[in-house]
Amino acid sequence: MVQTKKLKDGSRQIILNGNQYEGITKILAELATKTKASAILFADMSGQLISQRGNTENMNTTVLSALAASDFAATAEMAKLVGEEAKFKLLFHEGEKRNVYLSNVGDYFFLVVVFDVNVTLGLIRIYTKKAIQSLQEILEEESTGGESHKDMIDSDFSSLLGDALDESFK
Amino acid sequence: MFINWALQEINLKIVFYGPGMSGKTTNLEYIHSKLDPSLAGELVSLKTKEDRTIFFDFMQIEVGRIKGKKPKFNLYTVPGQVYYASSRKVILNGVDGLVFVADSQPHRMEANIETLLDLENNLKQDGHTLEEFPWVIQYNKRDLPGVESVETLQKKLNFFSVPYFEAVAVRGDGVFNTLKAIINNVVQHVQNQL
């Protein structure tokens, strides 16, 4: 299982190990090949981009993830207002040249598929559904453990970060 | 907080909260204008035609590698106007630290207090409390005539004695001090939770 910890103060912490990251990226690559999607993003519900595949060089995927997460969160609120008890599972934005298909992956993650209008939506739906199943399997796999935020942030780290901030904010 | 071991990345989400027109977007705009472009991503603002934030502003900043790790900070603002309450709640999803941007003018005191209560309410729904959560206050618009004294602001708004900063965000005064403080605060907080 991907480490999703609730800390004492209620905040959420998600830790992804190397194997999980590689597995996720592989699934995105397969999905990109099968659907001919222009871009595929995997991100967490707070808006942080985790992995991407496709032609994303000219796309600001960091911002795209942040916007997509807000899109999800906003529609979840809309669901409540219109009396839908579950959250809306997928969002679809139709353009003249490109469409965007967003689908949640469990409660904490989601997938963004950007594709040209000449690709049929049905094809995207079928392969995305399969990819989501595989992604969920990876996210549920036993974590190898040992890798935690303790190793990421030690006391040295915070003082060095302070210096780096001073340097950047000159 | 999101940690990606494969990329040695640590992502933190920091939200600028406060009443309408208190200067949240101005904080981000200043940071964006002063940071080296290699460290600051695009600043995205979802605004109305009248230049008011309708959903949020977003920008990602980096500080380079530290001990091989790559910290990234995702900065967001919320829309301050009262009727965007749901939007504010949505932006708080997965938040790691908060900057409360207060307006120092006396006639905005009530709006400051209301927004602070709104914040506490929204945090509660996510299982947080203002008492335990990492946050700092910025008393903005200190250059305007007739502003409240810091003492009064402290008494009325800072009931958990969090770090506070005086600022004139349009000039950039106090902006980086505030940002640095909240980043340090969040990192300390993560360590303390071990």
Structural domains in chain B?
A: 2-192 (3.40.50.300)
Q: How far is B178 from A160, CA to CA, in rounded Å?
A: 18
On whether any CB of chain A is under 8 Å from the CB of B5, the answer is yes
One digit per residue, the tens of pLDDT, for chain B of length 194 reads 888 888 889 999 999 999 999 999 999 999 999 999 999 999 999 888 888 888 899 999 998 899 888 999 999 999 998 888 888 988 998 899 999 999 999 999 999 999 999 999 999 988 899 999 999 999 999 999 999 999 999 999 999 999 999 999 999 999 999 999 999 999 988 887 76
Residues A103, A90 contacting (CB under 8 angstroms)? yes
If DSSP codes are grouped into helix, strand and coil, which group holds residue B112? helix
Query: pTM for this structure?
Result: 0.90
**DSSP structure class, residue B173:** B
- Domains of chain A plus CATH, in order, are 3-155 (3.30.450.30)
Structure tokens at A45: 């519900």
* Alpha-carbon distance values, B24 to A18, A41, B103, B178 (Å): 37, 29, 10, 12
- Number of A to B CB contacts under 8 A, please give it: 154
User: B94 and A45 in contact by Cβ < 8 A?
Assistant: yes
Chain segment A111-168, per-residue pLDDT in tens:
999 999 999 999 999 999 999 999 999 988 765 555 566 677 777 888 888 888 888 8
B148 touches chain A (CB under 8 A): no
Nearest neighbour of B42 by CB, restricted to A44, A60, A156 = A60
CB contact under 8 A, A165 and B132: no
Comparing alpha-carbon positions, the chain B residue that sits nearest to A147 is: B5
For the four alpha carbons of A133, A51, B31 and B186, in that order, the dihedral sign comes to positive
Pick B63's closest partner by Cβ from A73, A76, A161: A161
Residues 6+ apart with CB under 8 A from B60: A62, A66, B40, B41, B72, B73, B74, B75
